[in-house]
Amino acid sequence: MDSIKNASQNLARSWNGSIAIKITAVTIWTIVVLSFSFTVPFMSTFEESSKKAYTWQQYQLIEMLKESSEEKGLNKQQTKRIETLVNSSDILFVKIISKFDNLEFGTKSANSYILQSNVLIDSNKYDIYLEFTSLKRAALLERVKVGSSIVVFSVLFSLFLFWLNNKIIQKPFESIIDFTQKVSKGSADIRLDADRGDEFGLVSKFLNEMLDTINENQQALKIANEELKEEIYHRDEALAASQQKSSFLANMSHEIRTPLTSIIGYSERIRFDKAKSRDEEKHMLDIVLQNGNHLLHLINDILDLSKVEANMLEIEKSYFSIIKVVEHARRLLNERAAEKNIQLEVNYNLPIPENINNDAIRTKQVILNLASNAIQFTEYGKVIIDISYEKQNDMLVIAIKDSGIGMSEDELEKLFKPFSQADVSISRRFGGTGLGLTISKRLVELMHGGITVQSVKGIGSCFTCKIKAGFIESENTLITELNESDLVAPEYEQPVEGISLKGRVLLVEDTYEIRALVKAYIEDYGIHIDTAENGKEGLELALNNNYDLVLMDIQMPVMNGKQAIVELRKHNYIKPVIALTADALREHATEFSDIGFTETLTKPIIINDLISCIQKYVSIVNPTAQEYNIISTTASFEHDVQGTVGGEVETTATDVCNEIGELLEDDLLYNLKIKYLKQLPDYVNNLKQSIDNNELHKAHDILHQLKGISGSLGYQKLTDIAVVASECLNKGQLDEVNNQIILMETFYLS
C-alpha cells in the first residue's frame, strides 16, 4: 500500500512514468529539427534578399530628395524625415551632396556594404553615398531571427501541448489512480466522471459499472450472510423450542396419566361394587371428580395457550364485585390448601372499590392460577392473598405471597415462557405444566395491567398483578369496612324450575342433534315447537304460520340465517327472530342486529339463557289443580318406594317433578351424545379431507357444526377446540388447524 501511496505525484515527476512529459519533449525536438532542416537550404538567398532590401531603402531616400525645392534644396522637415528613415532602417551611414546641401547621417563603418548614386532632380544634381551592414552579417542576423522564432514558437507550442496533455491525459490518469487507490482502501461510494466522449470516458464508465457490480454482489453476499445467520439463529431457537415442547409433553403426559390412573382405578372399583360401604363409594367418587376437574383445568390451560400463541385471547368487561370473585376462588382453593395443611388467608386492605369494570371470569382465572401455584410449591406455612387499591393509578392490586421453595435469579428469567418451568426438577417434585403463568401474564396484560415477581430461594415468592379497576367515583363507592355477608361466596346458577310456558316457536337449525336437544329443552316447559333444516324451509314456515318466536341458526345450507332474516323483513315479518351462532363476537351481535335479528344467543346453548329469552315473547302459565294432583300422587308413590328400599325420605311435589324431568332429559341427552360420538370421526375425516382439497368453505361449515353441537351436548373441550380451529382457519393458519384436529382425534380415541 505504501508503494502506491503517492503514485500520481511520482508519476508526474518521473521521465519514465509521465506520458505527458515524453510527448512534450519529443514534440519540441521534432519541431526544432524539422524547422532547421527546412530553413538551412534557404540561407544562401538571404544576401540577395538583403541587397533588395538595401536597394529599396536607397529608392525610398531618392524619393524623399525629389520633394526638395529647386531653388532652396531640402528644408528642415525633409531633413528630419531622412534622419528618421536612417534610424529605422538598415542604413549605417548616409551622405548627400548638392549645390544647396551637404548632409551626413549615421556613423561610418570599416566593414560595410556601400551604394553610391547620382540623381538629377529638376536640374539639381545630388550625389548620394550609403553604407549598409555587411551582407554576411545581415544573413547571419536573418538566420538568428529565424532560428529564434522557431525556438520561441516551439517552446510556446510545446507548453500548449504540455497543458493539453496534462488536461486530456495526465489528469484522467491521476483521477483513475486516485479512484483505484480509494477503492482499494474500501471506499465503495465514489464514482468517476464518465461524461467524457473519449477513451478515458469509456474506461471510467466501465470502472463505474464494475464497481456497481461489485457493490451489488457484496450487498447480495451480505444479505445472504444475514439470512444464513438468521436461519441458524431460528434453527437453534427452533431446536431449543422443540426441546422445551418435548420436555413439556413428557411433563404433560405425566400430569394427565396420574389423574387418569385414579379415575380409571376408582371407577373400576365402583363399577364392580368393590366399595365396602356407601361412604367409601362416595369417597371414591370424590376422588374421581377431583381428578376429572384437574384434567379439565389442564385442557382449558392448553386451549388458552393455543389462543395466546394465536393472539386470540379476548376479555369481556363488565362491573363485578372483586370480593365475590376472591371469595369464590378461596372456596375452590380451601380444600386443596387443607389437604397440604397449609393456611390460606385473604387480606382486604381497605378501602377498595365495591365494583370494578373488567373481566370477572379472567380475573378469577388469574387468581386461581397464581394461588394454585403458591399452594402447589409450598410444603408448609401459609399462602396469603392481599387485595388493595391504588387510587392514583386506578389499579386493583392482587398480591399472592407464599412461604414455599422460592426461586433464584436464573429461574426467574424462565418464568412466563410457554412450555417451560423455572427448573425441570420442580416438575418432577411438585408436578405442574408451567402453563398457568404464561396464560395469566397475557390475561393481565389484556386487562391493562402487568405481573411482577419477587422471590428468594428457600424463603418464598410474591406474585403481584395489577389490573385496571375502571373506578368512577360518581358511579361507584369505596368499601371502608366489611360485613360477614360480604364474604359469602356466590353459589352456582341453578336451572330455571317451576314454570310452565305457553306459545309456539320455530327452530331453524341444520344440525339434527341440536334440533333434537333444543326441542327437548323447550318442550319440557310446555311450548309447541316446529323445526326446519335450512333458511329456505324456515322462511316458508315463518311466513305461513303464526309463531310467537323464531330461533334461527346463522350458517346453514341452501339459505343461511342472514339471507333468511333479510327476506323475512322484506315481507314485513314483525315477529321476534333470535340468532343462534357459534361465532357471536361483539361485532357479530351488532351486525346481526343491523340486518334485522331481535337478539343473539351464543352456542353452546345454555338452557337458562334460552328459557329467559323465550319468556320475553311467550306466556307464563301456572300449574293447574289437576297437574298438582298428578304431582302429589307421583310424590306419594316415590315416597313409598324410597321408604321400602331403605329409610324415610322427605319429598315434595316440586322435587318429584324436577327428578322426573331430569331423568327424561338425561335419557334423551345420553342418546344424543352416543349418536354424536359415533358420528364425530366422520366429521373429523370430512374436515381433514376438505382442508387437503383446499375446500376451506366446507371446512368452515364443518367447524361451525362442531362448535354448535359439541357445546350444546356439554362437550366444552370440543367446542373450544373447534373455536380455535375456526379462528386459525380464518387467518389461513392451516398448520394450527391440523394441530387442533389432532386434539379432536385424541378426544374421541380416548
Using one digit for the tens of pLDDT, what is the confidence trace for 178-204?
777 777 777 777 777 777 666 677 777
The cell numbers describing 150, all together, are: 522557431
* Fold type of domain 500-622: Rossmann fold (3.40.50)
Is residue 359 predicted with pLDDT exceeding 60?
Answer: yes
DSSP 383-408: EEEEEEEETTTTEEEEEEEE-S----
549-553 β-sheet, strand order: 528-532, 504-508, 549-553, 577-581, 599-602
pLDDT at position 427 over 50: no
Q: Cell for 78?
A: 525633409
When mean pLDDT is compared across 507-516, 537-546, 637-646, 711-720, the lowest value belongs to 637-646
Find the distance separating the first CA and the last CA of the chain, reported in whole Å: 77
Measuring CA to CA, which residue among 115, 94, 117, 96 is closest to residue 105?
A: 94
What is the CATH topology of the domain spanning 317-487?
Answer: Heat Shock Protein 90 (3.30.565)
pLDDT above 90: percentage of residues in the chain: 12
User: Over 50: is that where the pLDDT of 653 sits?
Assistant: no
Distances (CA, A) of 534 to 506, 563, 641: 12, 11, 47
pLDDT in tens, 326-342: 988 888 788 778 888 89
Residue 70 grid coordinates: 529647386
Using an 8 Å Cβ cutoff, are 169 and 20 in contact? yes
Tell me the C-alpha distance between 325 and 481, whole Å: 17
Percent over 70 (pLDDT), the chain: 72
- Identify the pLDDT of residue 705: 77
Record the cell numbers describing residue 12, joined without a space. 508526474
CA–CA gap between residue 526 and residue 297 (Å, rounded): 37
Query: What ranges do the domains of the chain cover?
Result: 1-190, 317-487, 500-622, 627-749
Helix, strand, coil % in the chain, rounded to nearest 5: 60, 15, 25
**223 vs 92, which has greater pLDDT?**
223
**Mean pLDDT calculated for residue range 638-655:** 36
In the predicted structure, residue 493 carries a pLDDT above the cut 80: no
Residue with cell 548627400: 96
* Nearest Cα to Cα of residue 127 among 61, 187, 191, 172: 61
pLDDT given at position 636 = 36
Closest CA to 347 of 391, 401, 406, 393: 401
Look up residue 292 and give its three cell numbers: 376429572
Q: CA 370 to CA 467: how far, in whole Å?
A: 14
- Only one residue has cell 373455536, namely 723
In tens, the pLDDT along 230-261 reads 888 878 767 766 665 655 565 556 567 667 77
462-466, 502-506, 703-707: which range is least confident on average? 703-707
pLDDT at 169 over 60: yes
| CA–CA separation, 729 and 554 (whole Å) | 18
Q: For residue 604, say if its preceding peptide bond is cis, omega within 30 degrees of 0.
A: yes
Least confident segment among 33-37, 84-88, 311-315, 664-668? 664-668
The answer to whether domain 627-749 has CATH 1.10.3470 is: no
Tell me, what amino acid is at 345?
A: E
Residue 44, SS3 per DSSP: coil
Residue type, 241: A
